[in-house]
Chain A
Amino acid sequence: MITPHWEHFEHQADMGVRGFGNTPAEAFEQAALAMSAIITELSLIEPREEVVIQCEEADQELLFADWLNALIFEMSTRRMLFSQFKVSLESGQLNASAWGEATNVERHQPAVEIKGATYTELAVRQSHDQWLAQCVVDV
């Protein structure tokens, strides 16, 4: 068992997000945290409001990109930031909840806006006892 966690990885113009977990679903959750952390400090985002997200895609890597892109869409159209995620994956179906709050420019001081999840460095794979999900996001 590992402690789920996230990290950013280097990319010249943009930013790589990487989540680690005991399951792919956990890795997806952690990568979403990594993405929010590009915008602002996670501790500044209150998980007040729930948004439900559903995706369907047989290819797990494309599903991961779809997951991040669904979050990007919700952040953009609801003008929200998210700091908590719960993902369940089954046979290509993703059901998730994201908790967050309305973007407050003064408090959150958003560093950048995320345009989309790319297929650069896109991977969802198991390595030893942990799952990893990653890609570069365009900012």
Chain B
Amino acid sequence: MDINKLHRISDYQWRIEPANGMLVPGIIFASEDLILDMDEKVYEQVCNVAKLPGIVNASYAMPDAHWGYGFPIGGVAAFDPEQGGVISAGGVGFEISCGVRTLHTGLTVQQVMAKQKELADVLYKYIPAGLGSTGIFHLNKKEMNDMLNGGARWAVERGLGEQADLERIEEHGCMQGADPDQISEHAKERQKNEMGTLGSGNHYLEVQKVVSIYNEDIAQAFGIKLDDIKISIHCGSRGLGHQIGTEFLKSMAVSAKDHGITLPDRELACAPIDSKLGQRYLGAMRGAINCALANREIVTHLTRQAVTQIFPDSHLNLLYDVSHNTCKLEAHEVDGKTKNLFVHRKGATRAFGPGHASLPATLRQAGQPVLIGGTMGTASYILAGTEKSMQLAYGSACHGAGRNMSRRQATKQWKGGNVIHDLAERGILIRSPSLRGIAEEAPGAYKDVSAVVKAADKTGLSRLVAKLEPLVCIKG
């Protein structure tokens, strides 16, 4: 990105002055190096979002911002319904409530390394991953609607999760205000056989070891120690979310003019929050959030079953579950007043600070865990939300490094078999049904996530707590 177009506020904060129809400034949180590395589209998209009606404060971009659909990936923007604010299907995307959860295992590195291959094989056997895989739980019409209303809470009631998990999930595992009637039969059809599946692309299940601790106090509050083994799961709302995204993107794009909205980009398709379409989307999107929460809960249930095959005495407890493609109604301070805003986080993670009421008592002092995924060959990070983040960008942080090359370029540069072999030499076992898929997800195809999390830490968006490295990676 051409850094001369930005006004430097500090080492990690850059401003785009409102111009050409922007209602608010753009604010990018990143180091100078990250800014220089960002694609030019990020600038354009941050500016476009700033033109949408009812936007409050600024159009924000996280340190990992890159070219997205309408919104940049790593984009955060909040809208005030009292000011004609909009809700955007493009601002949430196709993978509604894609997110990450991290589980404690109580296992040691030695225990896992002694049975690494067996663990990789059993996880691969138990967790459906990739195109062509099917979930083992098939929902009928009533169960589908119950799931869309109940989220992870529904899964627990159905015996596919644990009660203790719920307080460790955003919205306590159940997004209020879902309206299954606003979700099409097509979307439900797509989801029928996909409950408890991982998906493909950049989705994964990883067995990880903790290799660094940056903040002892918070690590202790989170239950993280050096050499701990954790398991992280990254997936979303599967076919249901994709179909909802597809359908509402079209409805909103087509009706924007009728709502008096000029879309700077068709992908930014949106509708006034107070319109019928806006409310329909809200109800459908909340159902999709529940679908993602239920899905991750079921995948966790399967993971627990798999791990106890190898380690019968182990017990997996949930550290936290975060989502990064959502629009949520949240109370935030604006000019000294509390306002209820619709906060879009597109490829950005919620990062509520210490004391936030939505956090369970055991985490309230430390702040919300922020889980940032890396690649199958690099590192993932755990951070914590900060009070400063609440002031900077509604309590938001990045979600992971973007790609630095296209899928095509990656398959030209790497062969899946070689990637698997090289990672195995480094002690990392990969399981996947597709060699080409692995090549596309090769570690070298992604930017350096450590630069991104360092910037998040320096800017105050969240605080570094721990670094984890993969030992086993299941990908679709």
Residues of chain A at the chain B interface (Cβ within 8 Å): 8, 10-15, 39, 62, 65-66, 69, 72-73, 76-77, 79, 103-105, 108-113, 115-120, 122, 136, 138-139
Q: Which residues of B contact A138 (CB under 8 A)?
A: 69, 93-95, 242
Please report the number of residue pairs spanning A and B whose Cβ atoms sit closer than 8 angstroms: 114
CB of B460 within 8 A of chain A?
no
Pick the residue among B200, B254, B409 that contacts A112 (CB under 8 A).
Answer: B200
Is the CB–CB distance between A12 and B246 below 8 Å? no
Q: Is there contact, CB below 8 Å, between B407 and A69?
A: no
Which residues in A have their C-beta under 8 angstroms from that of B250? 62, 65-66
Q: Is A10 within 8 A of B406, CB to CB? A: yes
Most buried by B among A10, A39, A117, A118: A118
Residues of B253-287 contacting chain A, CB below 8 A = 253-254, 266-267, 269
Known contacts A62-B254, A76-B190, A116-B245; A103/B266 CB under 8 A? no
Query: Does B116 touch A at the CB level, under 8 Å?
Result: no
Nearest A residue to B199 via CB reads: A113
Q: Is B85 at the interface (CB under 8 A from chain A)?
A: no
Chain A neighbourhood of B189, CB < 8 A: 73, 77
Taking each of A69, A112, A117, which has the highest tally of chain B beta carbons within 10 Å of its own beta carbon?
A: A112
Complex contact A10–B408 (CB within 8 A): yes
- Contact B239–A76 (Cβ < 8 Å): yes
Residues in B with CB closer than 8 Å to A105 are: 130-133, 433
B402 touches A111 (CB 8 A): no
Q: How far is the CA of A139 from the CA of B199 in the complex (A)?
A: 10
Q: What is the CA–CA distance of A92 and B266 in the complex, to the nearest angstrom?
A: 20
Q: Distance (Å) between the CB of B96 and the closest chain A CB?
A: 10
- The listed residue (A8, A72, A119) touching B249 by CB distance below 8 A is A119
- In the complex, what residue of chain A is closest to B41 when comparing beta carbons? A12
CB contacts under 8 Å to A, within B97-148, are 130-134
Q: Please, which residues of chain B bring their CB within 8 A of the CB of A115?
A: 94-95, 242, 245
Closest Cβ–Cβ distance, residue A56 to chain B (whole Å): 13
A-B contact list, 11 entries, CB within 8 Å: A10-B409, A11-B406, A12-B66, A72-B246, A105-B132, A111-B434, A116-B249, A118-B249, A119-B69, A122-B266, A138-B69
Interface string of B384-421 (1 = CB under 8 A from A): 00000000000000000011011111000000000000
Could you tell me the distance between the alpha carbons of A14 and B245 in the complex, rounded to whole angstroms?
16
* Inter-subunit contact A118/B267 (CB<8 Å): yes
How near does chain A come to B256, taking the closest CB pair, in angstroms? 12
A138–B402 alpha-carbon span in the complex (Å): 15
* Chain B residues within 8 Å of A66, by CB: 250
B132 and A104 contact, CB distance less than 8 A: yes
Residue picked from B93, B405, B408, most chain A C-beta under 10 Å: B408
Q: Please determine whether B94 and A13 come into contact, CB atoms closer than 8 angstroms.
A: no
The yes or no answer to B437 lying at the interface (CB within 8 A) is yes
Q: How far is the CA of A84 from the CA of B306 in the complex (A)?
A: 40
Q: Are A117 and B132 in contact (CB under 8 A)?
A: no
CB distance from A91 to the nearest CB of B (A): 18
Is the pair B406, A73 in contact by a Cβ cutoff of 8 Å?
A: no
Instruction: List residues of chain B with CB within 8 A of the CB of A15.
Output: 406-408
